[in-house]
Amino acid sequence: MKKIFILILIVICISTLIACNTSKINTPEAINMYSHLTGFKGLELYVWTDNKTNQVFCGMLEGTNRNKNEQDYKIVRDNPVTIEKITAILGDYNKDMFVIIIGLDEVLSQNTITILKSYFDKLQMPNILYKTNE
């Protein structure tokens, strides 16, 4: 009986941890932040893959003439949105907006670019660029 109780307790703890992690995705704060960037110098869209779930997440910052630092990347990573949500947000921006898509943890793979294009091509924004090392 004690083993069953401990097993149930472990399952509840793991479920709670998973729920806490997924509750940070697509928060109203993140959506509001990404929806109200001025984009005066374009937008930088950062993309990363969760190694545990293999899900792709996105975040955006305004384009600037400076290199981004770890604090900038932390803001993006702490406010993840799904590809579907960032596509909807980008759809509200001017179609001529310059958007550069950058891998947050690694260079964008061809597979990731293909996934992103399947969403972003529908926006008909001609100035979306994918940053690769090629």
Query: What letter would DSSP give residue 82?
Result: E
Q: Identify the CA nearest to 112 among candidates 89, 83, 87, 84.
A: 83
**76, 104 in Cβ contact below 8 A?**
yes
Whole-number pLDDT of residue 1: 64
**pLDDT at site 132:** 81
Global confidence as pTM: 0.80
Give the per-residue pLDDT at 63: 93
Residue pLDDT tens, the chain, 134 long: 666 645 554 544 444 444 334 568 999 999 999 999 999 999 999 999 988 888 999 999 999 989 999 999 999 999 999 999 999 999 999 999 999 999 998 888 888 899 999 999 999 999 999 998 65
How many separate helices (H) and strands (E) can be counted in the chain?
5, 5
pLDDT at 134 (0 to 100): 56
Q: What pLDDT is recorded for position 54?
A: 85
Q: Tokens in use for 68? A: 């981004």
Three state DSSP letters for 20-49? HHHCCCCCHHHHHHHHCCCCECEEEEEEEE
What's the one-letter identity of residue 27? T
